[in-house]
Amino acid sequence: MAPLPPGSRIGILGGGQLGRMLALAAAPLGFRCHVFGPEAAPPAAQVVEAVTIADYLDEAALGTFAGSVDVVTLEFENVPAACLEFLAERVPVRPGARALATAQDRLVEKDFANSVGATTAPYAAVDSLDDLKGAMPRIGPRAVLKTRRLGYDGKGQVMLEQGADLDQAWQALGGAASILEGYIPFDGEISVIAARALDGTIATYPPIANHHRNHILDRSVVPADLDTRQVGRAVAIATDLATALDYVGVLAVEMFVVDDELLVNEIAPRVHNSGHWSIEGAVTSQFEQHIRAICGLPLGAMALLGRVEMQNLIGDDVGRVPGLLAEPGAHVHLYGKTAVRPGRKMGHVTRVIPWNAVP
C-alpha cells in the first residue's frame, strides 16, 4: 500500500483526450505516462513518455507494457475484460476489473445501482424481439431501447413512442442484447464526480448540471441548482456506489433529476467530460485526483473556486478558438486532434466566476 514514488510509470489504457489530460496532471507530481491503445497517433501520445499502439488483446504487447509500468489505469471503459485480467496478474490495475465489468453492461450497472439502494428508471432485459414486445406494456408507453454494451453519446439507443414499430427498433440495434428503459421526463441531468483513495477515503465535487445537444454533452455548470437535501442525496449515491465497488480512482455518476427524485442513469469508471472544469475551477482537478488515488497518495481538496462553466468545443466550434483566446479569463483546452468531424470533441473552454463576483 506504499505510495508510488516520483519517477514511477503510469500505464494508461486508451489515448484520447481524457488520457491526455491525465498525463498532463501526472507530470507535476513527478510521474511518467505510457499510453496503450489500438488507435494510431492518439491525442494523448503528444504529451506522454511512451506509446504502444496495439490491440487490447495483443498479449505480447500487453506483457511488455505491464513490465514497463508500476500501475495501470484507463481512460476508456470498454477495454475487454481479458485485457484487464491479463494485466492484473502482472501489475496493479486501478480501478479494478469489477468496476469495469459493472459499468460496461447497462443491465449489470442498473442491477448494481438498485442493489446499493440507488434508484434507476424502470428497466427490463431484452434479448429478443419477443422480450421487447413483452416488456413494452410494462415499461412504456414511452421508453428507450439501449444496447447493453458499447453505447455512448446516444449511439446504440432508440427512443420508442407509444405505438412505435418494435420490429424496426429491434433491427436498428442489430438484435444486440439490450435493455428497455422507461422514458424519464426529467427536469435536469446532473453528475457527481467522486474520488476514492486506496485507503477508502472518498471526496466529491458538488453536483454538476449537464446540458446536452444532439445527445452529446454541450455544457456543464457547477454547482448545480439543487436544494440541500438533493445535494446530500446525490453525493450519498455516488459515495455508496464507489464504496460498494471498492473503487480506486475517479468515478462519475450521471443522474436524472425528476421532481424530488434522483435516478442513476450511468456510472463512468473514469474521469469524465462533465468534470473538465475542475482543472481551473477546483482546488484539485479530477485528473490530479485520479492520479493521486491510483498512486496511493492522499486526495487533494475538492472545493470550488467559484461558479464554473465548461463548454465543449465540438466539430466546427473549434473555429471559435481565436475569439475565445481574446476573452480574458476563458481557459481554452485543445485536444490535439487534426481532423475536424461533426460531433467530434475537439476541446473545451472553462470560465470561472470567483465567488466574490457571482451575481
Question: Of the two residues 196 and 272, which places its CB atom closer to ligand AMP in the complex?
Answer: 272
Residue number closest to ligand AMP, CB atom? 184
Site string for ligand AMP, 261-300 (x = CB under 6 A): ----xx----------------------------------
d(CA 85, CA 204): 29
334 to 178, 218, 348: CA distances (angstroms) = 35, 15, 7
Shortest Cβ 334–ligand AMP spacing (Å): 25
Q: Compute how many residues bind ligand AMP; rule: CB under 6 A.
A: 13
- Least distance from C-beta 182 to ligand AMP, angstroms? 6
Q: Is 154 in the site for ligand AMP (CB under 6 A)?
A: yes
Does 212 participate in binding ligand AMP (rule CB under 6 A)? yes
CA distance 281 to 124: 39
**By C-beta, is 181 or 288 nearer to ligand AMP?**
181
Q: Which one of residues 77, 105, 189, 317 is an interface residue with ligand AMP (CB under 6 A)?
A: 189
- The verdict on 122 binding ligand AMP (CB under 6 A) reads no
| Min separation Cβ 121 and ligand AMP, Å | 4
Nearest 5°: phi and psi at 201? -65, 140
Stretch that binds ligand AMP, among 50-58, 160-168, 177-185, 228-236 (CB under 6 A): 177-185
140 binds ligand AMP (CB under 6 A): no
User: Which helix H or strand E contains 110, and what residues bound it?
Assistant: helix 106-115
Q: Shortest distance, CB of residue 190 to ligand AMP, whole angstroms?
A: 11
* C-beta of 79 vs 184, nearer to ligand AMP: 184
Between vectors from CA 312 to CA 26 and to CA 231, what angle results, nearest 5°? Answer: 80
Cβ atoms of residues 243 and 98 within 8 Å: no
Which residue from 250, 160, 261 is spatially nearest to 196, judged by alpha carbons? 250
Q: Which residue has the cell 416488456?
A: 135
Q: From the CB of 184, what's the least distance to ligand AMP, in Å? A: 4
| Of 91-99, 162-170, 180-188, 320-328: span binding ligand AMP (CB under 6 A) | 180-188
Regarding 144 and contact with ligand AMP (CB under 6 A), the answer is yes
Strand order in the sheet with 50-53: 50-53, 32-37, 9-13, 71-74
In angstroms, the CA 193 to CA 18 distance is: 14
- Shortest separation between residue 251's beta carbon and ligand AMP, angstroms: 15
* Among 54-62, 130-138, 183-191, 286-294, the segment contacting ligand AMP (CB under 6 A): 183-191
Quote the cell numbers at residue 25: 496532471
- Minimum CB–partner distance for residue 166 and ligand AMP (Å): 17
Strands 119-120 and 32-37 turn out to be unpaired
Could you give the angle at the alpha carbon of 290 between the alpha carbons of 284 and 292, nearest 5°?
75
Per DSSP (E only), the strands in 15-81 are 32-37, 50-53, 71-74
Tallying the residues shown for the chain, one arrives at 359
Among the listed residues 333, 331, 287, the one whose alpha carbon sits nearest the alpha carbon of residue 306: 331
Answer for which of 215, 303, 325, 340 binds ligand AMP (CB under 6 A) is 215
Beta carbon of residue 324, minimum distance to ligand AMP (angstroms, whole number) = 25
The residues binding ligand AMP (CB under 6 A) are 121, 144, 151, 154, 181, 183-184, 189, 212, 215, 254, 265-266
